[in-house]
Chain A
Amino acid sequence: MAEHDRNDPEYQAWKAAYDATRLRDVPFETMSGVPVDPLYGEGPYPGQYPYTRGLHAAGYRSRLWTMRMFAGFGTAEDTNARFKELLRAGGGGLSTAFDMPTLMGRDSDYDWSLGEVGHCGVAVDTLADMEDLFADIDLSSVSTSMTINGPAAMIMAMYIAVGEKTGVERSQLAGTIQNDILKEYQAQKEYIFPPRPSMRIITDMMKFTSAEMPKWHPISISGYHIREAGSNAAQELAFTLANGFAYVEAAVAAGLDVDDFAPRLSFFFNSHSDFFEEIGKFRAARRIWARWMKERYGAKNEKSLMMKFHTQTAGVSLTAQQAEINIGRVAIQALAGALGGTQSLHTDAYDEAMALPTEDAARIALRTQQIVAHETGVTNVVDPLGGAPFVEWMTDEMERRAEEIFAHLLDIGNDSILEGAYAGIDDGYFVGEIADAAYRFEREVNEGKRIIVGVNEFTEGDDGERNLLRIGAEVEEYQLKRLNDVKQRRDSAAVTRALEQLKTDAADSEVNLMPTMIEAVKAFATEGEIVASLEEVFGTYVEKVFL
């Protein structure tokens, strides 16, 4: 049995919390029948500040991570069908991907939308599409994650409206909306308005959800995209946490108490291939967040200090060459996520280097994380790698590197992380660091210093034949027709009024935009119309080139 100092009050606190937790009804034994303890090694204990070893005393013994598989393509009806399949197959949460026009705040009939409608996600132009997307799904019984940023407020407004129309109160709606605009300027580039007005919209959403939607996470502060754009692990860690601190500062400046909203902030990380680096990164993330929230931002509520995160395996690590071997990569990355203590996980499909996943491939991806959860035994022990010298060193090292980056941001931001974020966006710090890291990696691969199996070594075995998912032109045709229909049938005067009201409200920074936004979507104003109206007030962001 594990050695614990029974006189240590922290141990006792952990034990008490563990004993009070309802556990899953499975034997906590190895495959061979060897019973294992929930915890090995010493403090800090899971469920205790600074949460390095995890947020909860019993870890996955009480609840596995949510298997949240990202889906979305084609029409809202197509996605609705995929949703239902995933729910049937055992997925616990819905996660929605939107197409490029929707992500960029434009309608399917915008001239650049040609060729993109329904391609990398579902097309949503109006509330009618949102209603189709969630048809026959009881919103009070699922948790929905929506991956959208620039137009997040409009999409959230539509979700709320769907709830209302199907008898679900907004206070019952559970889920997350990504809504992390800072990383758009840094990495993903799906911005619309300039940084400061975008921050205003976000603080409005935070105030709104604090007051009316206790189960809703208004921001998912994301490092995934930063990593995909080419950053290294420490940069992913630091830029993400810094963005989190920036939102905290913005919300506090907007009048919220830190404990009002911090408990509902969540994070989203990448899980890449360097196994121990990733695990160190996850553990360091929890520790840093807890410390900064407590010491710098004065959070008192324990939940404000507890960093919850979703993880997705690294899309950028998937190779087109010998694509089936990606299943191995994903399994290892998923394992790292589990050993890092993630709250929810999306595993990529093996064919995603070239296109959106086929049904089969998406199923295999889900099964992969089910294997990690149910067959490997890693869920029997909380933070099983904690105490291992290398892992603890890696955790410390990740934290140290992140602190260097925070110091730089505080420097350029006159002691404010929020101002540091704005300054870093403006002077190209983030994009420069990311581009440099990406280039360095590329050169290493090119020179053969870094081996990518199937790409620069072990290249035999690729037959190149593959069934890829194709989105036909009929999706675009359908969507254009649908959009047109809605525009014909709606009350144009009501739409015009709603948009005018939105512009008036936008010009007054004291007004919360959410109520008017909800009215506008209920009148079937299109996403593109709403965005265009706001652009008149806020302006449009044009990126500066830093190379």
Chain B
Amino acid sequence: MSLRGVPPADIFDMATGGERRALGRLITFVERDAAEAEVVAELAHGRAGNAHVIGITGSPGSGKSTLTGQLVKLLGEAGKRAAVLAVDPSSPLTGGAILGDRVRMEDVAAPDTFIRSMATRGHQGGLSLAVPGVVRLLDATGYDPIVIETVGVGQVEVDIAGTADTTVVVATPGMGDSVQANKAGLLELADLFVVNKADRPGAKDVRRDLDLMLDLSHVSGQDQRTGMRPEIIMTTALSGEGAPELWDAIERHRDAIAGNGQLALRRINRDVEEVRNRLLADLEGRVETMLAGDSLAGVTQVLDQVAARSLSPTAAARDLAARISEL
């Protein structure tokens, strides 16, 4: 039973009916931004808006995959139909990726948990452009909650915070994470902090450092985004300790932002953000096409002039910018 040639709307119905393979195929459409993706986006858009989207991020080695697994296990036990997007960076050189988070969760997840591994695919330092669309799709086909798990390198936290309703940042002792928390924007972006490997020496220090920094940012008024002080939860992912407390904290956060209007606001921002990112990607594509030289007359001449130093890069860019709309 091949899905080749089956109309996307039919595949969407199959997915909503619980066919996981169909859902897998739809996600592929979204990732590839193929023609079918338009159809899928329209179908999903109207039906989405229910799911609680949770972002979990942390440095490599923080144990966030194991933690996500424990969370997902709890969700399964609570009868929830959860989905997980495990995002890992693509190699900037080759475009390939090794996606190894799935296996960490599969053992403990309930049979109807949906797990998809995604690579960032060239979206430097952040989530792949497809993530919001995939989230909407999962939401539309009935998954709730949706957990996005990523490695905290580059500016991925910014992207995650823009996509998730609740952003969880995972720290661990011994990795300089208290210094990490100082990383630009992390304190403002996190809705919840987790100190994982809480059984190791140094865990209490990490917690104390986070507390200190949160106090400072509260004093400085930096926690404008929600007015709420992020909770800090201690966990030992390997044993599952702390996972129920984490889930409770996540629900508390969701209830709070649903109650104070923040949730609606974030979701609007998320959609606008997606428009922005798509526009930027589109523009970037046009710039690349333009600079490749043969799509527009006169571009190569301009670049040659820059190379010959008879035209400054600033002037060249101004020149070409005016012509972007021709592409």
User: Residues of B contacting A414 with CB < 8 Å?
Assistant: 201
Does B17 make an interface contact (CB < 8 A)?
Answer: no
A545 proximity list for chain B (CB < 8 A): 100-101, 103-104
Q: Which residues does chain B contribute within 8 Å of A26, judged by CB atoms?
A: none
Contact with A along B81-103 (1 / 0, CB 8 A): 00000000000000000101101
> Looking at the complex, which one of B65, B66, B98, B107 makes contact with A547 (CB distance below 8 Å)?
B98
Q: B residues 86-130 with Cβ under 8 Å of A?
A: 98, 100-101, 103-104, 107
Min CB gap B70→A, angstroms: 12
Q: Nearest Cβ distance between residue B226 and chain A, in whole angstroms?
A: 34
A527-547: CB near B (< 8 Å → 1, else 0) gives 000000000000000101111
Chain A residues near B201 (CB-CB < 8 A):
414
**Chain A residues, Cβ within 8 Å of B104:** 542, 544-545
A421 to chain B, nearest CB (A): 15
Indicate if A85 sits at the interface (CB-CB under 8 A): no
- Docked Cα-Cα span, A547 to B100, in Å, equals 8
**Residues 170 to 213 of chain B near chain A (Cβ within 8 Å):** 201
Distance A428 CA – B61 CA, assembled complex (angstroms) = 9
Question: What's the A-B contact tally at a CB cutoff of 8 Å?
Answer: 15
A198 to chain B, nearest CB (A): 15
- Give A240 to B101 CA distance when docked, in angstroms: 29
- Note all chain A residues with C-beta closer than 8 A to B101: 545
**Of residues B61, B66, B98, B107, which shows the largest number of chain A Cβ atoms within 10 Å of its Cβ?**
B61
* B103 A427 Cβ-Cβ under 8 A: no
Contacts of B98 in A (CB 8 A): 547
Expressed in whole angstroms, the Cα–Cα distance for A414 and B202 within the complex equals 12
Q: Is the CB of A542 within 8 A of B107?
A: yes
Cα distance, A542 to B66, chains bound together (Å)? 11
CA distance A545 to B88 in the complex (A): 13
* Chain B residue nearest to A546 in the complex (CB): B100
* A546 to B100 alpha-carbon distance, docked (Å): 8
With a cutoff of 8 Å between Cβ atoms, the chain A residues found around residue B65 in the complex are 544
- Bound state CA distance, A274 and B267, in angstroms? 63
**In the complex, chain B residues 225-270 whose Cβ is within 8 Å of any chain A Cβ:** none
Report how many residues on chain A are interfacial, defined by Cβ distance under 8 Å. 8
Of all chain A residues, which has the CB nearest B88? A547
Distance (whole angstroms) from the CB of A46 to the closest CB of chain B: 44
Chain B proximity mask over A416-432: 1 for CB below 8 Å, otherwise 0 = 00000000000110000
Name the residue of chain B whose CB is nearest to the CB of A545: B100
Q: How far is the CA of A122 from the CA of B101 in the complex (A)?
A: 35
Closest-CB distance, A543 to chain B (whole angstroms) = 9
B103: A residues at CB distance < 8 A = 545
Residue ID in chain B nearest A428 by CB atoms: B61
> Given A414-B201, A544-B66, are A427 and B100 neighbors across the interface (CB < 8 Å)?
no
What is the bound-complex CA distance between A544 and B197, given in angstroms? 15
**Within 8 Å CB of B100, what residues of A?**
545-547
List, in ascending order, chain B residues with CB within 8 A of A428's CB: 61
B98 to chain A, nearest CB (A): 5
CB of A427 within 8 A of CB of B61, answer: yes
Cα A546 to Cα B104 in complex, Å, equals 11
State which residues 490-547 of A face B: CB under 8 Å.
Answer: 542, 544-547
List A20-56 residues whose CB lies under 8 Å from chain B: none
A212 to chain B, nearest CB (A): 35
Chain B, residue nearest A542 (CB): B107
Most B C-beta atoms less than 10 A away, residue of A414, A428, A544, A546: A544
- Residues in B neighbouring A547, C-beta threshold 8 A: 98, 100
Say how far B327's CB is from chain A's closest CB, in angstroms. 40
Q: Nearest CB to that of B103 among chain A residues?
A: A545
Shortest CB-to-CB span from B248 to chain A, Å, is: 25
How far apart are the CA atoms of A547 and B66 in the complex, in Å?
16
Tell me how far the C-beta of B245 lies from the nearest C-beta in chain A, rounded to whole angstroms. Answer: 21
Nearest-CB residue, chain A, relative to B172: A427
Chain B residue numbers with a CB within 8 Å of A546 are 100
Bound state CA distance, A390 and B57, in angstroms?
A: 52
- A414 to B104, alpha carbons, bound, how many Å? 28
Which residues of chain B have C-beta atoms less than 8 A from A427's C-beta? Answer: 61
| B200, chain A: closest CB distance, angstroms | 9
Complex: A542 Cα to B65 Cα, angstroms: 13
Closest CB in chain A relative to B192 CB, distance in Å: 23
Q: How far is the CA of A542 from the CA of B103 in the complex (A)?
A: 10
In the complex, how many angstroms separate the beta carbon of B132 from the nearest chain A beta carbon? Answer: 27
Give the shortest distance, in Å, between B292 (CB) and chain A (any CB): 32
Select from chain A the residue with minimum beta-carbon distance to B69: A542
B64 CB, min distance to chain A CBs, angstroms: 12
Assembled-state Cα–Cα distance A184/B241 (Å): 26
CB distance from B78 to the nearest CB of A (A): 22
* B221 smallest CB distance to A (angstroms): 38
Give the shortest distance, in Å, between B133 (CB) and chain A (any CB). 27
Shortest C-beta distance, B204 to chain A (Å), equals 16
Interface string of B314-326 (1 = CB under 8 A from A): 0000000000000
Nearest A residue to B102, CB-CB: A545
Q: Which residues of B contact A542 (CB under 8 A)?
A: 104, 107
CA distance A479 to B107 in the complex (A): 30
Residue of B nearest to A544 (CB): B104
| Nearest-neighbor residue (CB-CB) of B66 within chain A | A544
Minimal beta-carbon separation of B101 from chain A (angstroms): 8
- Residues 427-480 of A contacting B (Cβ, < 8 Å): 427-428
Complex formed: what's the CA distance from A545 to B201 in Å? 24
How far is B201's CA from A427's CA once the two chains are assembled, in angstroms?
A: 15
How far apart sit A547 and B88, CA to CA, in the bound complex (Å)?
Answer: 12
Residue of B nearest to A547 (CB): B98
* A536 CB → nearest B CB, Å: 15
> Min CB distance, A284 to chain B, in Å?
31
Contacts of B107 in A (CB 8 A): 542
Docked pose: A428 CA to B65 CA in angstroms:
14
The CA of A378 and the CA of B141, in the complex, are separated in Å by 74
A–B pairs, 13, beta carbons within 8 Å? A414-B201, A427-B61, A428-B61, A542-B104, A542-B107, A544-B66, A544-B104, A545-B100, A545-B101, A545-B103, A546-B100, A547-B98, A547-B100
A544-B104, A545-B103, A546-B100 provided; 4 other pairs, C-beta below 8 A? A542-B104, A542-B107, A544-B65, A547-B98
**Closest 9 interchain pairs by CB?**
A545-B100, A547-B98, A547-B100, A427-B61, A542-B107, A545-B103, A544-B104, A545-B104, A544-B66
